[in-house]
Structure formats: C-alpha cells, structure tokens
Structure 1
Amino acid sequence: MSTATATPQSKRASRHPVDEVLPLPKLAIYGFQHVLAFYAGAVIVPILLASAIGLSTPELIHLINADLFTCGIASIIQSIGFWKVGVKLPLLQGVTFTAVSPMIAIGMAAGGGTDGLLVIYGAVIVAGLFTFFMAPYFSRLIRFFPPVVTGSVITIIGLALLPVAAADAAGGAGPTLDPASGRNLAYALGTLALIVAIQRIFKGFMATVAVLIGLVVGTLVAWALGDAHFDLVGGSGWVGVTTPFHFGWPKFSVAAIISMIVVMLITAVETTGDVFATGEIVEKRIGKEDIARALRADGLATTIGGVFNSFPYTCFAENVGLVRLTRVKSRYVVATAGLIMVIIGLIPKAGAIVAGIPHPVLGGAALAMFATVAVVGFQTLSRVDFHDHRNVVIVATSVGLAMYVTAQPDVAKAVPHWAQIILGSGITLGSITAIVLNFVFHHVGSSRGPAVAGAPGALVRLSEVNEMTRDEFADTFGSLFKGPRWVVERAFDSRPFTDTIDLRRAFQEALFSATEDEQRLLIDSYPDLGADSVAEGEEGPDSLRDQSVLGLTRLDEKAHAELAELTAQYRDRFGFPLVTCVRDRDSFDQVVRTGWERVNNSPAQEHASALVEIAKIAGYRFDDLVADANPIHSARTRFVES
C-alpha cells in the first residue's frame, strides 16, 4: 500500500529540467550570463538604425533603453508563457537583424529622423499583429521555405549589412566618414583582431562574450586616447521609463507594412529552426502547437515593440548556443535574464554609456557578426542540390538583385514611391525574389514535383516516376540502399506517388515490412565504418559520400585503429556490421561513443537499430537524389507529424 501511494507522489514530484526552478543565486548568475552573451547584439540594431536615419544622441539613448526594456518583456513572454503564447523553452528574444536594412529603407523613404521612425513603428505594429494571427497556419507553409530560400535569405542578410559595418569602421555614415583615417582603421581592425583572438584562445563563456569584450576594450582604448566621449552620461537620469508612442503616433504605409511582413515571415522560419534546435538540446518534444506558441510570442513582442518604441523580435540563436554550452535547461534562467534586461532598460545612464561607443569600434565588431551571418547562409546553401539548374537560378538571381540595390541604392529613385521601400532594400528585394522564384520553379505548372538529378539538365519529374517500369524505377532509385534491390522494387508497387513525401514513405514501408532474413541480408551488405574499401571507392560513391562527412575516410592511424576495434567487436557480438548514419552525427567522437553504447544492446534491439540507421542513410541519399526534396521539412516531420 505504501508503494501504491509513493508512486503517484514521485510522479507528481518529477518535472522536466526545462521547468525546474533553480535557487535564486543560480538564477541570477546564469541569467546575467545570458544578458552578457546577448547584450552586444541587442543594442547594435538601434545604434545602426539611429546612425542611418539621422537620430540625435538623446533619441538613440532612448531607443537603446526601450529596446532592452522590451527585450526583457519579450523574453519573459516566450519563456514563461500564458494561454497559447510563448513556447515555454529557454529562448531569449532580441531584435532581428533581418529588419535592419528594411527599417533603414523605410525610415529614409519617409524623410529620416523621427518622421521615418514613426512609419517604421506603424509597419512593426501591423507586422506583429499579422505574425500573431498567422502563427497556427505557418507550419503549413514550411515547404515554401526550403534551404534554397532560407540559405539565400540568410546570405543576403549578412552581405547586405556588411557595407553598414564598413561605413561605421570608417568613422560612421555622414560627415564623420573618413576611410583614409589610420586611427579609424586601427580601432576597427584592433577590435576585430581582439574578437578573433578571444575566439581562438578561450572556450566556453569567454568565447560567447568575445564581441562584448571587443566593444568594451576598444571603447576603453579610444577613451584613453580621447576619441570616446561620455559627456551625456552625467546628464542622464538614473531612472527613466519608456512611455508608449514616445516619438508620436505611428504612421502607416502600405509598402512599409508589406516590407515588414516579409521580414516577419523570414523571421518566422528563423524562429522555427531555433525552437527545434532548443527542443533537441533540452530533450523536449516539439509539435505544431509549440511552433504556433513561439510565433505568437514573436508577434505579440513585435507589436509591443512598436508601441514601446522598439522593433521586431525573434529568438536569439546566440543564446540557443549558450544553452547547449552550459547545459542549463531551465526556462526560468531566461526569464530571469529578461527581468535583468527590464531593469537595465529603466536606467538611462546605461544607454548613454552604450551610445558613447566610437563608430570604428562598433564597425570592427559588426564586421565579425554580419560576416558570420553570411557564413551561416553558406552552410545552409551547402544542403542545396546545385545540379538542379532551377536552384542555381533562384540563388543567383536573388543574391544578384540584392547586391545590385545594396551597391547602388539610388536605383530605388527610378521606380514609383510606393515601390521604393522594396527596391531600396537588398534584403527585402532578395528575399521576395527567392520566395517567388522558388514558388514559380518548384510549385507552379505541370512540371511541379521532385526532379531526380541524374545529371545537370537531365531531370526526371515525379509524373515521369509514376510512369516508369519496374526496372527503370529500380535503376533510378537503387542507390538509396546498399546491396539487394528488393526494397526499391517493392516500393514500386505503391505507385502512383502523390508527392515526394509519399515516395519516401514507400521506401520506408518496404524496408520495415520485409522478413527478418531479408532484412539481415540487407544489413550484411553495408560496409564497416571507416573501412579501407570505402575510402578507396570500392563500396561505391554513395558509401564514400556518406562516411566522408565526418572524415571517416581520412582518419589518422590512432582514430582508424579505434574505429576498427569498435567495428570488429560489434561484428563479433552480433554477426553483422555496425550500421550508422554518419550524417546524423555531430562528430567522430559521437560516432564512437554511440557505437560502444550499442555493443551492450541485445541482438534484437541492434537488428532494429540497424534498420533505423539504414532508413536514415536512405533518407539522406534521397535528399541528395531528389532535386527539390526539402531536408529541413523532412527532419522536422518526425516531430511535427506526431
């Protein structure tokens, strides 16, 4: 009887680490760490915007404090949550960099200064409301944002912002711009060099605040040399409350609103990725409703931002990385960080100190951050099949148009006023172009559907797949599985296929419904991890590509011997090779560690595990083979569909 009563009590007492409330000192320390990692990125957006549209220093100080205040509120909403708002994960909110260039274009088109700011706020409020109400439907649109779109957009964001960083590095846009100044060059390169050095020398927490340290040290050096001034700090109050519509009632422009809605759609894709990444880190299942809650929080925070003199909000990827680094999963840590930011936002002196950062120092830090954004875009584009000429056209056209208007902003004057907002922003124009071209090339017309990229210019459409003979089908998709072709041949019997997902499921169904003997023969046909036969190409190009992802085909002698010992012991115990989807692992060490863990499993469990790994390998090969397969959607389907 005591056992019966203890069981429900233990169940009630258990809670997920995400929901754990840590002691107050730990909450304060971990929360402040999040603030430090986040602070530099948080204040750069208002600084860049104020400099570009010609706001005064007191106005900049108010923007910084309003930004921090609203960042804190947004982070509390996202991490604590209420009703159907907030994903209740350790996700810290900040102003999205995606909005910088469009907001500058909106502000300048409206005359700059506070007049431009009011049009920005009008667009931000409407875009926030749009995001809030479209949140439940957004997951249905994920298929329109494959890597060819998101990669292009992220790359464009980074490249389009680099000229802004370069102008700051040269003294700041306007009369202070002096590219020939050796002192400006020294401050910019010195700050950048310090950030790089910290990233190289230190690990962990120090590496996460490298940008902040660079800004602080660069500013202190400039202050010691008389090039940084903090006269306004003494005149600023200790306490100041940002009031709604401080700069006046917002103004609403259709073109500006459309531009900002595009920004929020792109931001929604970014937030979705951050939510899934955080879910994996904290080991919590993510479903459609979680995505909707996160996007509602983004929309509500963005609307609040427009009211309280701030900007569009999204989850900060930097802090997602900090959660992975520290392994502190409690969402209340982020809520504490939000509370700290609210307090900082109520202290005008803090904003005055930040406003005193010299432009060259800021430019040096911005060069590192904005270029990093572009690199993330390159990484995303690496998953795109460029054998499919359609993807080449999408990326080339969107990036080309974005760089065209970024390098020659005056071209916007050649179009009517209502179109100047779109044509005046490289990010907006490039993003719209990528989305539209992806829709036109991959989702419109009779040619819609997957194209098998057997060779550039020789593509097979889904309609043609449905018309293939059994032999033609097996020849086309036989490379998905090693050895016998019965999996592919049985998948043929599931025709016709309605879409790429239907085709993928047919292979999975054939694999898992086979007899145990057939499955065993299939498992036996896969090569050992790190085998010389794979490295020498004897097992075929697909196995070579699979295992070369983590360098298993070019290991040093020590690593090769370690992997050989693992695979030998595994084969001795189970009688078949250790099958692992290398592309699903993060590192060589993880491959080895997981392999040794599997050695202790039962034969039945390892038989099932091998089939699951084979299915994963086939999934990646399928993404390689099918030109417009969506790897992001495929990875998320496991979570969302359930």
Structure 2
Amino acid sequence: MSPLRVPRRRPSAEPDQPVHPVDAVPPPGRLAVYGIQHVLAFYAGAVIVPILLANAIGLDERQLIHLINADLFTCGIASIIQSVGLGRRIGVRLPLLQGVTFTAVSPMIAIGLAAGGGTEGLTTIYGAVIVAGLVTFFAAPYVARLLRFFPPVVTGTVITVIGLALLPVAAADAVGGANAPDPGNPVYLGLALGTLAVIVLIQRIFRGFLATVAVLAGLVLGTLAAVPFGLVDLSGVGESAWVGVTTPFHFGWPQFSLAAALSMIVVMMITAVETTGDVFATGEIVGKKVGRDDVARALRADGAATTLGGVLNSFPYTCFAENVGLVRLTRVSSRWVVAAAGVFMIVIGLVPKAGALVAAVPHPVLGGAALAMFATVAVVGIQTLSKVDFTDHRNVVVVGSGLGVALFVTVEPDVATALPGWAQIVLGSGITAGSVVAIGLNLLFFHTGRRSPVQEPAPTPAADTTVGAAQIAGMDRAQFAGLFGGLFEGPTDVPARVHARGPSDDPAQLRAALQEELFAAPVGEQRELMAHYPDLGGLVTAPEPDTGPAGRDRARSGDAPARAGAGTDGSAVTGAGAVRIASRDRAGLALLDADDRTELAGLATAYRERFGFPLIVCLRDAGDRAALLACARRRLTHPPAQEHAAALVEIAKVAGHRFDDLVR
C-alpha cells in the first residue's frame, strides 16, 4: 500500500490536478507512526541546547527540566507553523521540523555569563532572542531577495557542510555521548553499528510502509537490545510529574541589552543561511521547486518561532537538518507528518513523563541512527553540487574552500578561541564558517570586479546550463531552436516558429508562446512529436541511464538513448543535463513495487495499441503511485480525440518544467 492517501477527486467535467505528495495526508495510524519517528530522531538534538546552557550559566536541575519542557513545547508550535503555515506569508509548507539552532549556544552562554549568570543571565538572553526574532521576521523578504547570491555551488556546499559537520555529533552519541564518551567500549560500538545495520537491512528487505519506518524500528530494537546491558534508565519516568505547563516569562521579564541583541541578530542572520540550505534541500528531496517567496515564508516562520521562544522560555529556532535527512531516508514527503510530530512535541512538553520516556533511548542507539540521517543530508548536498560546472575552476575553489574550512573548524573547534569574541560567533561552528566562506568566495569570483574574457569566456547556451533572458534575446534562429528544441523529446518546428515572432526578454511570455505554438501545430506534426516520447511502460522497467563518460558522450552527440533518458516528467533538457537529471526524473517510478510496474507496463502497451502513440505522463505532476495508476486506467477509457488533447497537455507540462529549469 502507498504511505500517502490522496483525497478523492470531486466529480466534474475536468479532472482535478493530483495532490502533490507534500500536501497528501497519510492514514491516521501511519501519520502517528511517522510523526513519532520524527520526534525520536529530533529529540537528542532538541534537548542538548538547554542542557549545555543550564550547565554553563549555573541553573539548577528543576530549572533545567522546565527549560527542556518549554523547548519541546515551543518546538512543536514552531514546527506546525513552518509545515502547515500561518496565513499566506508565514511557513514554507514543506516537511521541515523546527529546532533550537546550535549556532546560538556559544553566544547565549556569553550573554548569560556577562549578565551575571543564573536567572538574571537567562532573562537577558530572552530579551536578545525576542529582538532577534522580530528582526528576522521583518527582514525575511529582504534576505530572500539575495537568492541570486545562492546558486547551486553555494547551496550545495552549505547543504553538504551541514551534513558533514553534524556527523561528529552522531559519532559522539555513538560512543556514549559527549558528556561521558567511551570510544573503546565494545557494547557502545555494537549498539551503534547494530542500529545502523537494522535501518539498512529493513530498507533493503522491506517495501512500502515498513521501509519508511526503518529509523523508528532501528531505535526501538536498539533500545531493547540495550536493556540487558543496563543502558536504559527509566527512573526519570517515575520521578517526573504528569503535567508541566510552561508559562510566558516564567523566569522573569526579559532584560534588553544592545550588545546582546546585536550578537543574537548576527546569529539569526547566519542561521538564515542554514534555513535557506535546508529549504532548498527539502525542495530537492520532495520534488518542489523553491523560490524567493518560499525562502521568505520559511524565514518569517523562523522569526516568529524565535520571538515565541523568547516569550515561552525557549531559544532561537531554525529548520532542523537532522529531520531533512530523515525525509530523504524514508521518502515520506508529507508536511502533515511534521505537523503530527509537532503535536507530539507539544504533548511531550506538557507531560514531563513522556519526555523522560523518550529520553531513555541510549546515546549509542541514537548515534547509530543519526549516522544514517546526517550522512543523507550530505548526499543531498552532493546531488545539488552535481548541477555545478566544475570545468570552471572558480567553482572548485568555492566548494573546496567551503568544505575545507568547515571541516577544519569541526575537527578542531577550539581554534575559534584564537579569534576575537565577535568573530567566534561567526567562525565558532563548522556549519557557519563553511557557509560564510562559500558565500564570500561566490561573491568574490562571480559578483565583484570586472571579469576578464580570458578567465571567463562568454557563456554559450547549452542544454545542461541555465540561461538568462538577455542571452535568449540575442540568439539567432539556429541557436534559439537548438536550445529550446531540448524542451521536447523529438524534432519539432515549434521553437523556430516562436523565434519568428520576434525577440522577447520576458520568460513568462516566451514560455506561453512555446505552448501556444505547440497546440497550434498541425495534427500530423503533433502526432509525430508524440511518437518520440518514451513509452511509460518501458520506462518503469528500463535500466538507469548511463551517466559515465560514454553515456555523457552519447548525450552530447544527441543520440536517442540520451533523449529518452531525460524521462517524461520534464525535470531536464537535452544533452548531458538530460542524463544527469534522469535518475531524479524516475524517482517516483522507483516507489512502484513489482506488481505496480507490471500493471503500468500492461496499461501502457494497451494504450499504445489503442491510440497509436505512447502513454505520456508528466511524472512531476502525477502524484503518488496510486494516482499514477488511476490516471493510466482512466485515460485508457477515453475517446481518441480526448487522448490526443490530453497527450499534448502532458507534453506542454513536461516542456514547462524543463523551461523553468533552463531559464533563470
């Protein structure tokens, strides 16, 4: 069965568009299980910040428990705001879970100690948090306008840095936790690697629902395996109260300090880079294109949650990369799963006994699961970097320097003490240090100074690169037809006819003109074009495209296998780019089990026999497996004239997606 339930369509003359997996709602049972899995994956990272802060500024155990409850309670609210949205402008509406940013730990400790420590230091921290949250909220649209400074070379580096910099956190848990590490303990090693092995084996052996809860199963089985070794301590459950409500300004009214507020604003601007990276990573995973408005909504949610954190005795919030890795690992894209996790966190925040039960999961077990999740974040970054032209040495320098500095600070964190206090805020974390270096070098190489033609040749439009409106307007007919011919699977005169209309520097008008000419083309030309599209039945059983040197050479030469490798959902254009994106194009088909593939192949064969052209479906808009199969069954019953029109619509969707990926 599919892990997501797509709401039934309303009967109408025009079928509704399928629900995107991000917006689909799983059945209640699975929704609960998936949500609990997110909570377990997130819990260790959530509570470490209040623990570190409380120990550093001299809070007692009772105050620490209240901080943890307040943190979890606010995390739940923040996650719901980000995933469900609040109004039209707050919340990105992607499966992003919110948590306290590690970047703020050192600055908050410095602020607290400078204010005298204890509750006095805490109230000064909360004053700075409130101010920084408000600034982030109102500055969000202006920060989002800087997206042109975040091309794949930057976002890919930041995402990779996030994954790699978090791996030492997982490793510390795997050897017993940062407070009591014991790397030579064979029990710790066995539990960590055993948990990782369980997760891998479940994903290899099982399909469907069981594969998607592999992390949860690993945590549960790992915890049970740890019981005989005395590593599961449930005493905290009995000692904790049933109900613990956090009240606004529990520790006193916030105190405001200009220096403290400025340092926290710097922290939030740095975490904005992390949030941007996480939003792009999640969009890549779930198949939703992320734009400036999406980033602005995500940053507004960060600002709103941070302000709320200062009121409810918690801390600055950002998107949690740990759970981005979980989305990638489980392939459960529904944002409602994160909303369910938010509800569970609110409950845990109100019921200290529940929090104590979750906290009983041993560190080595958490570490084993985290190794898998954090590594997948780095993989998402590597996927993003696959879009970068590394024949341009400047990109090599940006990525190499960003990764190098990030790992330097991660491996030797004390190196930051050699810097002034204000610089430690920026360079005290491998994530922020690597991100700042990548952003700075991208600005230096690509956005400042006068670039020499010798160092940077004039760009030549190619199907595996993006082009701007100014470049398109200056193309001759052959260049224009060669570029936009890649939007279609076969030869067509549509681009040439659009060029004959005259130059246009408006991408929206150009996109519309291409689709108008497609629908206005002679019927014979349309049928010939349809015949060049890959047969969906063959596509589900075809091997992955050859992305090695030979495959790339065939792609550059325009051989048929390269064009077919572009898939049917329109994520790419022709040439090497088609082959590079082909695996992502087929990602939805990979979720089909053997029976589904057999049924879809049979439907596609029957379709071709009846209508004389392939079953063409824009996979990016097709929804989940159930929606795809239902669409194929329904279309097989339509009259030929209707299917001719439907095939053109699907071709237009494919071309539209490819156009959006090609034109910036």
TM-score w.r.t. structure 2 length? 0.70
- Kindly report which structure 2 residues correspond to 1:440-589, keeping only aligned pairs within 5 A, or say none: 451-452=459-460, 454=462, 463=470, 465-493=472-500, 496-498=503-505, 504=511, 507-526=514-533, 528=535, 530=538, 539=560, 541-546=562-567, 549=583, 550=586, 566=603, 569-581=606-618
2:133 to 125, 128, 133: 128
Query: 1:240 & 1:497 partners in 2: Cα distance?
Result: 63
Seen in structure 2, the aligned counterparts of structure 1 residues 490 and 155 have a Cα distance that, compared at 3 Å, is: same
CA shift, 1:371, in A, is 1.9
CA shift, 1:166, in A, is 0.9
Seen in structure 2, the aligned counterparts of structure 1 residues 128 and 545 have a Cα distance that, compared at 3 Å, is: same
Q: Which residue is equivalent to 1:418?
A: 422
User: Are 1:192 and 2:196 counterparts?
Assistant: yes
1:606 to 625, 643, 656: 643
Deviates more, 1:408-417 or 1:241-250: 241-250
Query: 2:143 & 2:630 partners in 1: Cα distance?
Result: 38
Q: Which amino acid in structure 2 is aligned with residue 45 of structure 1?
A: G
Q: Is the CA contact 1:130–1:261 (under 8 Å) kept in the aligned structure 2?
A: no
- Kindly report which structure 2 residues correspond to 1:83-94, keeping only aligned pairs within 5 A, or say none: 94=97
Query: 2:480 & 2:594 partners in 1: Cα distance?
Result: 41
Q: Which amino acid in structure 2 is aligned with residue 40 of structure 1?
A: L
Deviates more, 1:65-74 or 1:437-446: 437-446
Identity %: 50
CA shift, 1:467, in A, is 3.5
Q: Which amino acid in structure 1 is aligned with residue 98 of structure 2?
A: V
Deviations 1:491-537 (A, max 9, x none): 334664537666655544543444445434433454655499x9997
CA shift, 1:407, in A, is 2.0
Query: 1:335 & 1:460 partners in 2: Cα distance?
Result: 38
- Kindly report which structure 2 residues correspond to 1:618-633, keeping only aligned pairs within 5 A, or say none: 618-619=655-656, 626=662, 629=663
Seen in structure 2, the aligned counterparts of structure 1 residues 308 and 486 have a Cα distance that, compared at 3 Å, is: same
Q: Which residue is equivalent to 2:269?
A: 261
Q: Is the CA contact 2:173–2:366 (under 8 Å) kept in the aligned structure 1?
A: yes
- Kindly report which structure 2 residues correspond to 1:189-588, keeping only aligned pairs within 5 A, or say none: 189-200=193-204, 209-246=213-250, 249=254, 252-264=260-272, 266-267=274-275, 270=278, 296-311=300-315, 312-314=317-319, 341-384=345-388, 386=390, 391-437=395-441, 451-452=459-460, 454=462, 463=470, 465-493=472-500, 496-498=503-505, 504=511, 507-526=514-533, 528=535, 530=538, 539=560, 541-546=562-567, 549=583, 550=586, 566=603, 569-581=606-618
Deviates more, 1:136-145 or 1:367-376: 136-145
Q: Which amino acid in structure 2 is aligned with residue 600 of structure 1?
A: T
Q: Which residue is equivalent to 2:49?
A: 49
Deviates more, 1:49-58 or 1:470-479: 49-58
Q: Is the CA contact 2:234–2:360 (under 8 Å) kept in the aligned structure 1?
A: yes
Q: Which amino acid in structure 1 is aligned with residue 161 of structure 2?
A: I
Q: Which residue is equivalent to 2:8?
A: none
Query: 2:279 & 2:594 partners in 1: Cα distance?
Result: 42
Say how many residue pairs are matched: 591
Q: Is the CA contact 1:31–1:336 (under 8 Å) kept in the aligned structure 2?
A: yes
Q: Give unpaired runs (5+ residues) of structure 2.
A: 1-10, 20-26, 569-581
CA shift, 1:32, in A, is 4.8
Seen in structure 2, the aligned counterparts of structure 1 residues 204 and 406 have a Cα distance that, compared at 3 Å, is: same
Q: Which amino acid in structure 2 is aligned with residue 371 of structure 1?
A: A
User: Are 1:154 and 2:159 counterparts?
Assistant: yes
Seen in structure 2, the aligned counterparts of structure 1 residues 60 and 137 have a Cα distance that, compared at 3 Å, is: same
Query: 2:441 & 2:505 partners in 1: Cα distance?
Result: 23
Seen in structure 2, the aligned counterparts of structure 1 residues 107 and 140 have a Cα distance that, compared at 3 Å, is: closer
Deviations 1:336-359 (A, max 9, x none): 875554343123333344445443
Query: 2:306 & 2:457 partners in 1: Cα distance?
Result: 36
Deviations 1:397-419 (A, max 9, x none): 33333222212223323433211
Q: Is the CA contact 1:47–1:355 (under 8 Å) kept in the aligned structure 2?
A: no
Query: 1:597 & 1:366 partners in 2: Cα distance?
Result: 43
Q: Which amino acid in structure 1 is aligned with residue 185 of structure 2?
A: S
Deviations 1:110-157 (A, max 9, x none): 688979977865564344323433456677555554544433322221
1:67 to 67, 71, 75: 71
Seen in structure 2, the aligned counterparts of structure 1 residues 417 and 556 have a Cα distance that, compared at 3 Å, is: closer
Seen in structure 2, the aligned counterparts of structure 1 residues 578 and 30 have a Cα distance that, compared at 3 Å, is: closer
Query: 1:406 & 1:441 partners in 2: Cα distance?
Result: 26
Query: 2:206 & 2:109 partners in 1: Cα distance?
Result: 41
**SS, match of residue 180 in structure 1:** coil
Q: Is the CA contact 1:62–1:348 (under 8 Å) kept in the aligned structure 2?
A: no
Query: 1:460 & 1:81 partners in 2: Cα distance?
Result: 33
Deviations 1:469-492 (A, max 9, x none): 323443455444455452222333
Seen in structure 2, the aligned counterparts of structure 1 residues 490 and 308 have a Cα distance that, compared at 3 Å, is: same
Q: Which amino acid in structure 2 is aligned with residue 106 of structure 1?
A: P
Query: 2:193 & 2:376 partners in 1: Cα distance?
Result: 16
